[in-house]
């Protein structure tokens, strides 16, 4: 049996259990000592020498783990002597100092299983020599059958370990400091190390939170699958992989990363990562830029410093007609018109010095057409800022050039136009002013440019026109005929077109006007239209004026129509005052209330209006007169230029005056004056009528008041009739009766009969008074209509009135009388009167017979009162309902002649009618017709 | 003890008719007549000579005309009803007015009856007889309207 010693890859000896047929080189063979070591003893000796001389601590243990032999390196390293160690179980060395559980388990395993293990790191704190880190190799050796030994090497790597630690720490520090993320995964894929950058890239504050975690938590499942299926096999094959991936941060966001994975001896991986978000962005923005350049509508060409075309976008192709293939590699000057080549070459120097330059030049298209282009050369720099070429942006300005020429021509046209053409910006500041405008308004361009356009507005005109010309509403081009002020202050009639100036963005930046002097033309051209319009207005006005209105409203309404037509802003309407020789301001417009108060009243002959009123002649005043006549100071003070005052005369009677005035117009034309005169005639008529009407209304009011007063007096009269007039009657009657009662015996002859007559006459008078009072009460009283149960009412009347109750048996009510719309008091009056008459007017000796029934007439109902009385003549059917009218009955029938009049009035007051059917001597049928409720 | 009737009436004839009717109706009453509203108030208040209640006793019944000089009848009635001691005094209106507003107003203020002056002495007699029968025979007067002696007798 031979001991075989082999050297490991790390040049440290390895002792392995030799096996039969093992073809590894033996020591002897390896060292060429076959001859020399043929002897067993010698071999042992040699082996001993070798072992003793090995710097590696080596100890041979028996199966009980007792130290059999150890080399010098062992004793030296662990500060032991052979005496202390030999035949002592290793675990009991130094009184148990060597009792290292890990080692013990290791050795037990070795003995029991006959296995070897190597490079097992054991760290132990020795009492004497302190902490040691040992790389332990153990090998079961069977020297003789049944006799097992253990070859144990304990390489003290403490020193080395410390150095390694330091190196590692340094490395780790540098790894920690690295911008790249560096991590170590163990074979299972769990983190055993991660530097700060690594953690931070993944969004973890502390690298230690990653330790022990599996790398797959940092990726989406698809990415993990890609790693497992595609990347891992490559690492298996090549030992490393480098590529890009998308990882997941702690907060769930994703980021692109570049990573390199290297397999390490332990089976784990070294993982180096870098966040490439920025690079990706840059790449994308480059890509976008490239796309923009490619798709730009501007022709963009890049040149190298020799002026040779290197890139050529689509727009360049469109502009020049050449495709990229046709021009790349050719000099730019080959596209340039020959007379521009030299200039272009000069401009090409600028980018070489890092400067940009813009200029206009002319190029030739593929089709031979020459084009004007605006070109910008700019230097191109690489990422380090180094100049590497020139970019050329060209824009076709052929059209623009054409426009400029057209504009110049237009400007010339505008300038030479006969019309005034000028423009303002949005603040009304004049921005252009042509020769025509100078001629028309008398202002030179220098006078107005930069000033507000209001300088050519007549006073007071601006506000009015601004409202009319609201540019932001209505059509963009407006036309109006208006008035402007010249530099010399005179006014000029102009026809004006006004249009908005709109910039290419669609914003209004001002307005332009074309104005033409129409002072002359105006009359000729507009007269007819105006005449027609005025005729129509007059017709309308005439129609309007005849409808009932107040004098003030008449003139106000007509002014609203006249003002725009004639161009007046002021009117003053005076009416002759009650005193007769003064005029008073009735209505006005266009002047302040203060002024109106000052000029409220004028005596005839005072001021223009007073003079007009006195003379009954119109006054027409022009600007010139206003300016030069002292007595027109009132007009002058108000800034009035043109003034027309007409007297208002209707039916030869002076009603007042009506003035129209303008602060703008210089004078009224003959036509205007005619028109205003017509208007004034109309107003005069209408106001006369209105005043009459007002007067009439006033009179009606006064009469009504008087009437009210007399009604009041009538009431007082009624009261006094009741009280005072009846008192003497009562006295007359009563004394007559007393005389009869107390002194009858003393009376002779006809005395008693005369006293009876006095008494009866007084009684009749009393009844008359009562009935008249009832009648007037019925005429005047407020009657409230409401549903009335007629049946109940009639029966109650019969039972209540003594003269009816006496005859109740003679009164028959057929069926039930209906409910009617009426008034209980009125109906009671009617029914009692009708029944009273029926009972009263019977022939002597005849017992009254009365029937009452109702007849349904649809919406109405007729109630009949049929009697067997003396009847009424046909010709009296109407008359008997009149007051103080009586039938043809003789004096034997008492009555005032008011009863039926009361019935008629009472029925009429509740919306009913009354009538009679009768024949003299054959009874009467009175009826009342009433509404149903 | 004789009952006292206070007649407030300015019309001499009417006073006469009433006196005649009272006599005919056999009413033995002390009739006191005042000619206007103010006198009526003075009488009831016991002012001046009226303070002598043996001559001017508190009446058992007041007959009050409406249309009176100075103070109108309704004002007198209102005054009476405002005096705590006359809250129960019997006041009959005797007037020629048939106006609804007068009738309603009189009752509203507190009249005990409203009589319209008749136009014949016969009717006047009927009225006086019914007053006598109702107010002096059937009806129990409030203490204020009872003659003073009766009050003493009950004590």
Q: What is the CATH number of the domain that holds A319?
A: 3.30.450.20
Same domain, A198 and A125: no
- Supply the pLDDT for residue B154: 35
Of the candidates A726, A735, A741, the beta carbon closest to that of B96 is on A726
How many alpha carbons fall within 13 Å on the CB side of residue A62? 12
Q: What is the pLDDT of residue A17?
A: 41
d(CA A443, CA A437): 8
In this structure, the answer to whether residues A498 and A547 fall within a common structural domain is no
* Partner residue opposite B17 with nearest CB, options A734, A759, A762: A734
Predicted local confidence at residue B150, as pLDDT? 40
Residues A195, A269 within the same domain:
yes
Least trusted range by pLDDT, from A417-426, A460-469, A615-624, A868-877: A460-469
Average of per-residue pLDDT across A614-635: 84
> Residue A14 has what pLDDT?
46
Q: Residue A290: its pLDDT value, please?
A: 76
- Which residues in chain B touch residue A759, judged by CB atoms under 8 angstroms apart? 120
CATH number for B113:
3.40.50.2300
Q: Which two tokens stand for residue A539?
A: 């017709």
- 3 state SS of A794: helix
pLDDT (mean) for A744-757: 85
Q: Could you tell me if residue A719 is inside a domain?
A: no
Q: What is the mean pLDDT of residues B93-109?
A: 89
Tell me the CA distances in angstroms from B95 to A27, A725, B113, B115, B147, one per residue in order.
Answer: 173, 13, 11, 6, 26
- Work out the mean pLDDT of chain B and round it to a whole number: 87
Among the candidates A691, A708, A732, a domain finishes at A691
Mean pLDDT of B75-95: 92
Question: Cβ distance A77 to A154 under 8 Å?
Answer: yes
> What total of structural domains would you count in chain B?
1
What is the pLDDT at residue A462?
65
Q: Is residue A273 part of a domain?
A: yes
Q: Which residues of A touch B120 (CB under 8 A)?
A: 733-734, 737, 759
Q: Choose the most confident range, by mean pLDDT, from A553-557, A644-648, A692-696.
A: A644-648
Closest to A194 (Cα-Cα) out of A184, A204, A180, A205: A184
Contact A734, B13 (CB under 8 A): yes
Of A723, A738, A762, which is closest to B121 when you measure between CB atoms? A738
Least confident of A261-265, A320-324, A645-649, B41-45: A261-265
Contact B96 A727 (CB under 8 A): yes
Nearest to A737 among B11, B95, B120 (CB): B120
Q: Which two tokens stand for residue A301?
A: 């060409």
Q: What is the mean pLDDT of residues B25-34?
A: 92
A contact test, residue of B66, B121, B128 with most A CBs within 10 A: B121
> In this model, does residue A106 exceed pLDDT 60?
yes
pLDDT of residue A846 exceeding 90, the answer is no
Mutate which of A716, A721, A730, A760 to test chain B, going by most B C-beta atoms within 10 A? A730
Per-residue pLDDT, A643: 92
Task: Report pLDDT for A169.
Answer: 59
- B119–A733 CB contact, under 8 Å: yes
In a shared domain, residues A138 and A29: yes
**CATH number, domain at A870?**
3.30.565.10
Does one domain contain both A299 and A176?
Answer: no
The fraction of chain A above a pLDDT of 70, given in percent, is 88
Residue B106 has pLDDT above 90, yes or no: yes
Percent of chain A at pLDDT > 90 equals 8
Q: Which parts of A387-546 fold into alpha helices (H)?
A: 398-416, 435-441, 445-448, 461-468, 519-546
Highest mean pLDDT among A160-174, A197-211, A770-784, A814-828: A814-828
Same domain? For A149 and A192 the reply is: no
Q: Is the Cβ pair B119, A766 closer than 8 Å?
A: yes
Total domains in chain A come to 6
**Domain that residue B139 falls in:** 3-154
More confident residue, B133 or A626: B133
Tell me: pLDDT of A888 over 70: no
CB pairs under 8 A between A and B: 44
End of a domain among A156, A188, A223?
Answer: A156
- CA distances to A397, A553, B7 from A686, rounded to whole Å, are 73, 10, 70
Q: Is the pLDDT of residue A177 over 80?
A: no
The B residues from 39 to 78 touching A (CB cutoff 8 Å) are: 67
Same domain, A372 and A459: no
Domain co-membership, A544 together with A651: yes
pLDDT value at residue A605: 87
Q: Which of these ranges, A135-139, B121-125, B148-152, has the smallest mean pLDDT?
A: B148-152
Which site among B119, B123, B124 would you substitute to test the A interface, given the most A Cβ atoms closer than 10 Å to its Cβ?
Answer: B119
Q: Is residue A328 part of a domain?
A: yes
Range of the domain at A237: 162-280
Q: Which whole number is the average pLDDT over A846-865?
A: 91
Nearest to A335 by CA among A352, A348, A322, A351: A322
User: What CATH number should be reported for the domain holding residue A616?
Assistant: 3.30.450.40
Angle between helices A551-562 and A670-720 (to 10 degrees): 160
> Count of CB atoms within 10 A of residue A871's CB?
22
Question: Cα–Cα distance between A53 and A74 in angstroms, integer?
Answer: 11
Do residue A900 and residue A801 come from a single domain? Answer: yes
Q: Which of A655, A673, A691 is the last residue of a domain?
A: A691
Same domain, yes or no, for A128 and A38?
A: yes
Q: Find which of A217-226, A710-719, A883-892 is predicted with most confidence, using mean pLDDT.
A: A217-226
Query: What are the strands of the beta sheet with A653-662, ordered from one edge?
Result: A601-603, A582-589, A570-576, A653-662, A642-650, A619-621
- The helix/strand count (H/E) of chain A reads as 32, 35
Quote the pLDDT of residue B127.
Answer: 95
Work out the pLDDT band at B125, boundaries 50, 70, 90: very high
Nearest of B109, B98, B19, B47 to residue B73 by alpha carbon: B109
Residue A14 CA to residue A7 CA, distance in Å, equals 5
Q: Does A764 touch chain B (CB under 8 A)?
A: no
Statement: residue A470 has pLDDT above 80: no
Check whether residue A150 and residue A210 sit in a common domain.
Answer: no
Q: What angle do CA A905, A907, A908 make, to 5 degrees?
A: 65
Question: B155 vs A743, which has greater pLDDT?
Answer: A743
CA torsion A327→A329→A331→A335, rounded to 10°? 0
Q: Using the beta-carbon criterion (under 8 Å), do A730 and B96 form an inter-chain contact?
A: yes
In this predicted model, what pLDDT tens digit does every residue of A670-702 receive, in sequence order? 888 888 888 888 888 888 888 888 888 888 888
What's the pLDDT band for A475 if we cut at 50, 70, 90?
low
Average pLDDT over residues A308-323: 86
DSSP H helix total and E strand total for chain B: 6, 5
Mean pLDDT, rounded, of chain A: 81
Q: In which band, very low, low, confident or very high, does the pLDDT at A6 lie, cut at 50, 70 and 90? A: very low
ipTM above 0.85, yes or no: no
Decide: helix, strand or coil at residue B39: helix
Question: Is the domain of A479 the same as that of A594?
Answer: no
Please tell me whether residue A238 adopts helix, strand or coil conformation. Answer: helix
User: B117 touching A, CB under 8 A?
Assistant: yes
The whole-angstrom separation of Cα A2 and Cα A737 is: 192
Are B124 and A734 inside 8 Å of each other by CB? yes
- Model confidence over A110-123: pLDDT tens digits? 777 776 777 777 77
Q: How many angstroms separate the CA atoms of A511 and A423, rounded? A: 6
Averaged pLDDT for residues A58-66: 84
Confidence band, pLDDT 50/70/90 cuts, at residue B90: very high
Nearest-CA residue of chain B relative to A770?
A: B98
The pLDDT value recorded for residue A305 is 82
For residue A635, give every residue at least 6 positions away whose Cβ sits within 8 Å of its Cβ, in sequence order, or none. Answer: A608, A621, A626, A643, A661
Give yes or no for residue A216 having a pLDDT over 80. Answer: yes
Tell me which residue of A161, A111, A116 sits closest to A134, measured CA to CA: A161
Least confident residue range of A129-143, A226-240, A909-923 = A129-143
By the 8 A CB rule, do A645 and A658 touch?
A: yes
């Amino acid at each position: 049996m031979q001991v075989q010693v082999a050297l490991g890859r790390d040049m440290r000896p390895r002792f392995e259990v030799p096996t039969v047929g093992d073809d590894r080189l033996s020591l002897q063979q390896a060292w060429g000592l076959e001859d020399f070591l043929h002897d067993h003893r010698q071999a042992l000796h040699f082996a001993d020498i070798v072992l003793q001389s090995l710097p590696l601590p080596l100890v041979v243990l028996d199966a009980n783990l007792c130290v059999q032999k150890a080399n010098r390196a062992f004793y030296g390293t662990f500060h032991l002597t052979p005496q202390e160690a030999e035949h002592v179980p290793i675990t009991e060395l130094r009184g148990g100092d060597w009792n290292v559980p890990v080692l013990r388990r290791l050795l037990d395993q070795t003995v029991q299983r006959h296995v070897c293990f190597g490079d097992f790191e054991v760290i132990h704190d020795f009492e004497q020599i302190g902490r040691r880190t040992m790389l332990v190799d153990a090998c079961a050796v069977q020297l003789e059958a049944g006799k097992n030994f253990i070859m144990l090497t304990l390489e003290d790597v403490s020193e080395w370990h410390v150095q390694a630690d330091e190196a590692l720490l340094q490395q780790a520090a540098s790894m920690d400091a690295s911008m790249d993320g560096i991590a170590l995964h163990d074979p299972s894929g769990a983190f055993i190390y991660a530097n700060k950058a690594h953690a931070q890239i993944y969004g973890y504050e502390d690298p230690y939170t990653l330790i022990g975690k599996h790398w797959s938590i940092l990726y989406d499942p698809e990415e993990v699958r890609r790693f497992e299926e595609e990347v891992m096999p490559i690492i298996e094959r090549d030992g490393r992989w480098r590529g890009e991936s998308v990882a997941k941060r702690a907060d769930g966001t994703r980021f692109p990363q570049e990573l390199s994975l290297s397999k390490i001896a332990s089976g784990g991986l070294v993982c180096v990562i870098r966040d490439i978000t920025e690079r990706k962005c840059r790449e994308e923005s480059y890509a976008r830029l490239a796309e923009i350049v490619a798709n730009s509508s501007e022709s963009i060409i890049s040149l190298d410093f020799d002026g040779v075309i290197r890139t050529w976008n689509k727009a360049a192709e469109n502009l020049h007609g050449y495709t990229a293939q046709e021009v790349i590699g050719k000099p730019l000057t080959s596209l340039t018109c020959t007379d521009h080549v030299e200039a272009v070459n000069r401009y090409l120097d600028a980018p070489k010095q890092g400067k940009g330059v813009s200029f206009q030049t002319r190029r030739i298209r593929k089709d031979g057409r020459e084009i004007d282009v605006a070109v910008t050369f700019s230097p191109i720099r690489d990422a380090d800022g180094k100049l590497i070429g020139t970019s050329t942006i060209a824009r076709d300005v052929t059209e623009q050039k054409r426009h400029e020429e057209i504009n110049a021509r237009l400007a010339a046209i505008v300038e030479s136009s006969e019309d005034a053409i000028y423009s303002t910006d949005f603040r009304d500041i004049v921005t252009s002013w042509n020769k025509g405008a100078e001629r028309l308004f008398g202002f030179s361009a220098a006078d107005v440019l930069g000033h507000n356009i209001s300088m050519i507005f007549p006073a007071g005109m601006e506000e009015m026109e601004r409202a009319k010309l609201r540019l932001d509403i209505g059509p963009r081009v407006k036309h109006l005929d208006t008035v402007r002020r010249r530099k010399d202050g005179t006014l000029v009639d102009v026809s004006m077109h006004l249009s908005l100036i709109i910039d290419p963005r669609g914003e209004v930046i001002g307005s332009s006007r074309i104005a033409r002097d129409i002072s002359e033309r105006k009359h000729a051209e507009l007269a007819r239209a105006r005449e027609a319009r005025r005729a129509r207005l007059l017709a309308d006005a005439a129609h309007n004026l005849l409808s009932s209105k107040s004098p003030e409203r008449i003139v106000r309404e007509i002014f609203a129509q006249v003002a725009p037509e004639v161009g007046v802003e002021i009117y003053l309407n005076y009416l002759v005052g009650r005193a007769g020789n003064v005029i008073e301001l009735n209505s006005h417009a266009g002047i302040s209330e203060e002024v109106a108060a000052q000029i409220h009243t004028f005596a005839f002959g005072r001021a223009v209006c007073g003079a007009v009123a006195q003379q009954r002649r119109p006054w027409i005043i022009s600007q010139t007169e206003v300016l030069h006549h002292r007595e027109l100071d009132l007009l002058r003070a108000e800034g009035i230029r043109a003034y027309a005052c007409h007297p208002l005369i209707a039916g030869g009677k002076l009603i007042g005056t009506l003035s129209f005035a303008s602060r703008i117009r210089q004078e009224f034309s003959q036509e205007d004056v005619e028109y205003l005169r017509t208007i004034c005639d109309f107003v005069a008529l209408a106001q006369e009528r209105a005043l009459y009407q007002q007067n009439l209304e006033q009179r009606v009011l006064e009469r009504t008041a008087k009437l009210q007063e007399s009604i009041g007096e009538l009431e007082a009269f009624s009261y006094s009739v009741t009280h005072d007039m009846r008192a003497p009657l009562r006295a007359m009657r009563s004394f007559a009766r007393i005389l009869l009662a107390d002194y009858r015996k003393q009376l002779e002859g006809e005395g008693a009969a005369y006293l009876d007559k006095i008494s009866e006459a007084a009684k009749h008078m009393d009844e008359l008074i009562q009935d008249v009072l009832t009648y007037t009460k019925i005429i005047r009283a407020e009657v409230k209509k409401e549903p009335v149960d007629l049946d109940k009412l009639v029966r109650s009347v019969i039972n209540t009135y003594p003269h009816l109750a006496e005859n109740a048996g003679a009164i028959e009510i057929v069926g039930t009388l209906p409910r009617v719309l009426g008034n209980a008091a009125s109906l009671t009056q009617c029914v009692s009167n009708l029944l009273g008459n029926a009972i009263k007017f019977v022939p002597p000796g005849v017992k009254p017979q009365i029937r009452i029934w109702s007849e349904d007439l649809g919406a109405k109902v007729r109630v009949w009162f049929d009697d067997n009385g003396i009847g009424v003549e046909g010709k009296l059917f109407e008359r008997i309902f009149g007051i103080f009218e009586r039938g043809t009955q003789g004096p034997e029938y008492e009555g005032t002649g008011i009863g039926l009049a009361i019935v008629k009035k009472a029925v009429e007051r509740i919306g009913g009618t009354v009538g009679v059917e009768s024949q003299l001597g054959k009874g009467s049928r009175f009826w009342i017709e009433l509404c149903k409720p | 003890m004789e009952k006292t009737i206070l007649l407030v009436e300015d019309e001499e004839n009417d006073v006469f008719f009433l006196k005649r009717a009272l006599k005919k109706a056999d009413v033995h009453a002390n009739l006191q007549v005042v000619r206007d509203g103010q006198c009526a108030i003075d009488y009831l208040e016991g002012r001046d000579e009226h303070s002598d209640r043996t001559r001017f006793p508190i009446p058992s019944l007041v007959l009050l005309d409406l249309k009176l000089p100075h103070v109108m009848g309704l004002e007198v009635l209102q005054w009476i009803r405002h005096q705590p001691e006359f809250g129960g005094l019997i006041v009959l209106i005797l007037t020629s007015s048939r106006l609804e507003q007068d009738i309603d107003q009189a009752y509203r203020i507190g009249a005990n009856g409203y009589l319209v002056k008749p136009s014949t002495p016969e009717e006047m007699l009927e009225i006086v007889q019914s007053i006598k029968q109702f107010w002096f025979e059937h009806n129990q007067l409030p203490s204020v309207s009872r003659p003073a002696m009766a009050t003493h007798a009950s004590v």
